[in-house]
A and B are shown apart, each in its own frame.
Chain A
Amino acid sequence: MWLALRFRHWALDCRITPEASDGGAGMLVTETTAQRQRIVAADPVALAAGARNGMALADARLRLPEAVLHERHIALEKTAMVRLAGWAWGYSSQLHWALAGGDKVTCTHLIMEIGASQRLFGGRAALWQRIETDLTRMGYRYRAGLGETPQAALAFARADESIRRRRCPDELSIACLDLSANVRATLSASGLRLAGELFALPSGTLIHRFGPELSAYLERLRGQRPHGLALFRLPSRYNTRHELNAAVDSTQGLVFVLRRVFDALAGFLLGADSAIQTLRLSLIHEREPPTRLQLALSAPTHDARHLEHVAHQRLERVQLVAPVVGLRLVSDRLRRSRHKQAGFWPQPGQDNGDDDSWPAVLDRLRARLGHEAVQWLHQIDDHRAEHASVYRDRPPSAVATPSQASDPLPRPLWLFESPRPISDRALTQWCWLHGPERIESGWWQQGQRRDYYRVLDTRGRLLWVFRDLEATDRTTAYYYVHGLFG
Chain B
Amino acid sequence: MHVNLMPDASSEASSLLWLNKEEQARCRQYPLPGPRRRFALCRAALRSILCHELGCGNERLSFGLSDYGKPFALVDEESAPISFNLSHSAKHGLIALVPHGRLGVDVEERVPRRDFDEMSEAVFGPHEQSALARVRGRDRVRLFFRLWTIKEALVKALGLGFTLDVSQFEVPQALHQGRTGMFRFPQLPEVRWRVEYIGNENFSAAIAHELLPSQLGDRSLQRQNGNVSEKQGVCQ
B is a partner of A: no
Instruction: Give the interface of A toward B (CB within 8 A).
Output: none
